Structure 1
Amino acid sequence: MKRLTIADIADAAGVSTGAVSYALNGKPGVSAATRERVLQIADSMGWRPSTAARALTRARTGTIGLIVDRPAQVLGIEPFFMQLVSGIEAALKADPSTALMLAVTDDRDTEVETYRRWWAERRVDGVIVVDLNDNDLRTGLLAEIGLPAVALGYPQSRDLPCVWSDDGPPTEEVVGYLAALGHRRIARVAGPVALSHTLRRDEAFTRAAQTHQLEWSKTLHADYSGDSGARAARRLLSERNRATAIIFDNDVMALAAMAAAQEMGISVPEELSILSWDDSALCQLVRPAVTALDRHITQHGVLSIETLNDVLETGTAEHRQAPPPVLMPRASTSRAPR
């Protein structure tokens, strides 16, 4: 028979696993009515608390975990995670007793097992989850084992508070910006198709292309690496009726594409406009400087710590929406060639 977990009680009571934990352990953070209802449901389901587990949950480790499931060669040059960690560390300065534990894994199964091991050994107080997929299996796992967590990505469950931003409007904005410059053939080099934010950008790009009645639009999916960005650019620029503008889902791919265009004798921005998401320092260190969407990534890191602190203090937290991205026009975009 399957062992009863607090996730089972949360489903039956219609509350978060954090609320169940606080109700069962007599801690503040839930109303008296909710506490009474949770206790009654738990009793009817045959819940028997573990005194050893209770003892363990009273102590803090002073460590927040972050696992990144990306190839090491991509992570080493990806500005997104450096900015994210910078925001996390800035938020942690308010509590010098808390540190960040970072792990890099090669696949999702290893990531899942690492969560299980960290929580079984009480090595972390909570974790920040990145790269959400739709119907992400980690949401259920974290609720099942009771590991406090916050995710960066679109909200999927009440059990997993999220820090998120709506990628639809900014995607439509950049297509409109390029269309206003006269571009009628616009391509997009996106991240992995499995990621939730990639799918939403795909949908928004398709809508925007229809709205602005482009001659054609096309999306290629890559892995955020410079090599994949350059390959995608060469493929798009080798077509007879080639794109006059390309949008990239990160700065590394955008810069690699600029180099590929130069190799092919295609001038940026006179013959090809390039635009990127994220807007790291790389965008202003190259010539021409790259037009980009500033996503306030460090702020995502700050908000993730603030949200996780709410979970650790009260057992629950609301989803938080980050500031919308801001378009930063620079020299890599110009009017479409005649």
Structure 2
Amino acid sequence: MNGAGSGVGFSGAVGLVLARPARLLGIEPFFMEFIAGIEERLAERGLSVLLHVVAAQDAEIAAYRRWAERGLVEAVVVVNRTVDDRRLPVLRELGLPAVLVGTGAEGSDGGEGGRPAVPAVRTDDAGPVREALAHLLDLGHRRIARVSGPADLLHTRARTKALVEGCREVGIEPVIVEGDYSDEAGAGLTRTLLNGPEPPTAILYDNDVMAVAGLGAAKELGVAVPEQLSLIAWDDSTMCRLASPPLTTMSVDVHRYGVLVAESVLELVDGREVAERWSPTARCVPRGSTARCPVRSTT
């Protein structure tokens, strides 16, 4: 393939396909910050991001085939790894270089020594879940729920496993419901949880949009946050800080995450060995949406 600055035939683009409803891209801050970080670093080398939003993985694969046939991209960034992911075999078939994003141990893809066979910027999904759980347990919560992302995503499964194992270590079982990162899912699933026979005293969300929507749903039901219900978001966007009360969150430097991905892409297109990198670790930032568990709800 042509490396950056190789002259004739250099496409000047790195491909990124997001298989998700386009409307979510407009309301979820994560990918805008992530792409900004990638663009910032690539721009220093005259490269840009070719972004394509599709509805499903089949359409994503079709996009890769078009790009490879027309020589439109130097490499692709692959996000949101799934169970039985069909994209990597296709990329190998096409000879299209790729950097995986968010791949932990479960996504090592057969590399030697536990390292990915395809270059990756890896993520620790379990450690932050345990940190969030420890925060809630320290506050006395025992009825803990989680509104997750899609269950077929590898990082969703890693977070679920960490939460279930951590809860079992202290003799409790979490309630986990599956969302799709949208505000509708966040609000609807929060209502379902709070209207159940044993409503949780704490809810952990897999993104900020669902958490903010869940906060609104709790208010509509007359459930006071944090006096009756504690909430933790994931990804520390501006909307978390502007919420009332401000949301406790698992904060990630998403912009830095994008820069690290771009560093791996540049090494790849230059034909150099791609260093193993890990994304910035999510850290718990306590704010006004978490407090001690109500005494009456600790049984």
Same fold (TM over 0.5): yes
Q: 1:282 and 1:122 mapped to 2: Cα distance?
A: 39
Q: 1:268 and 1:249 mapped to 2: Cα distance?
A: 18
Is 1:281 the equivalent of 2:231?
no
Q: Output the amino acid matched with 1:134.
A: V
Q: Which residue of 1 aligns with 2:217?
A: 260
Question: Of 14, 18, 33, which aligns to 1:83?
Answer: 33
Give the alignment of 1:206-285 within 5 angstroms: 206-214=164-172, 216-285=173-242
Gaps of 5+ in 1: 1-20, 28-55
Find runs of 4+ consecutive structure 1 residues off by over 6 angstroms: none
Query: 1:233·1:257 contact (CA, 8 Å) conserved in 2?
Result: yes
Q: 1:161 and 1:136 mapped to 2: Cα distance?
A: 16
Q: 2:53 and 2:66 mapped to 1: Cα distance?
A: 15
Query: 2:147·2:189 contact (CA, 8 Å) conserved in 1?
Result: yes
Q: 1:107 and 1:149 mapped to 2: Cα distance?
A: 19
| Structure 1 residue 314, shift from structure 2 partner | 1.8
| Structure 1 residue 156, shift from structure 2 partner | 2.8
Query: What's the Cα RMSD here?
Result: 1.9
Q: Which residue of 1 aligns with 2:44?
A: 94
Q: 2:125 and 2:215 mapped to 1: Cα distance?
A: 24
Q: Which residue of 2 aligns with 1:33?
A: none
Is 1:195 the equivalent of 2:153?
yes
Q: 1:316 and 1:61 mapped to 2: Cα distance?
A: 21
Q: Which residue of 2 aligns with 1:167?
A: 125
Q: 1:68 and 1:296 mapped to 2: Cα distance?
A: 20
How many residue pairs are counted as aligned between the two chains? 284
| Structure 1 residue 262, shift from structure 2 partner | 0.5
Q: 2:184 and 2:290 mapped to 1: Cα distance?
A: 22
Query: 2:129·2:163 contact (CA, 8 Å) conserved in 1?
Result: yes
Q: Output the amino acid matched with 1:239.
A: G
Q: Which residue of 1 aligns with 2:10?
A: 60
Query: 2:14·2:49 contact (CA, 8 Å) conserved in 1?
Result: yes
Is 1:177 the equivalent of 2:126?
no
Question: Of 64, 81, 86, which aligns to 1:132?
Answer: 81
Moved more, 127-136 or 182-191: 127-136
State the secondary structure of the residue aligned to 2:27. coil
Cα deviation digits, residues 128-175 of structure 1 (max 9, x gap):
111111342111111121111111121433442111211111101111
Q: Which residue of 1 aligns with 2:92?
A: 143
Q: 2:269 and 2:293 mapped to 1: Cα distance?
A: 52
Give the alignment of 1:113-124 within 5 angstroms: 113-124=62-73
TM-score in terms of structure 1 length: 0.80
| Structure 1 residue 93, shift from structure 2 partner | 3.2
Q: 2:69 and 2:273 mapped to 1: Cα distance?
A: 21
Query: 2:240·2:246 contact (CA, 8 Å) conserved in 1?
Result: yes
Query: 1:230·1:257 contact (CA, 8 Å) conserved in 2?
Result: yes
Question: Of 308, 311, 319, which aligns to 2:268?
Answer: 311
Q: 2:237 and 2:50 mapped to 1: Cα distance?
A: 24
Query: 1:148·1:308 contact (CA, 8 Å) conserved in 2?
Result: no
Give the alignment of 1:26-65 within 5 angstroms: 59-65=9-15
Cα deviation digits, residues 265-302 of structure 1 (max 9, x gap):
00000000000111111110111000001122112211
Query: 2:102·2:279 contact (CA, 8 Å) conserved in 1?
Result: no
Q: Which residue of 1 aligns with 2:292?
A: 335
Cα deviation digits, residues 166-216 of structure 1 (max 9, x gap):
1111101111110110101000000000000000000000011112323x4
TM-score in terms of structure 2 length: 0.91
Q: 1:279 and 1:67 mapped to 2: Cα distance?
A: 23
Q: 1:209 and 1:78 mapped to 2: Cα distance?
A: 29
Identity %: 39
Q: Which residue of 2 aligns with 1:8?
A: none
Cα deviation digits, residues 10-36 of structure 1 (max 9, x gap):
xxxxxxxxxxx89xxxx9xxxxxxxxx
Q: Output the amino acid matched with 2:48.
A: A
Question: Of 13, 19, 23, which aligns to 1:69?
Answer: 19
Q: 1:117 and 1:240 mapped to 2: Cα distance?
A: 52
Q: 1:161 and 1:134 mapped to 2: Cα distance?
A: 18
Q: 1:251 and 1:237 mapped to 2: Cα distance?
A: 19
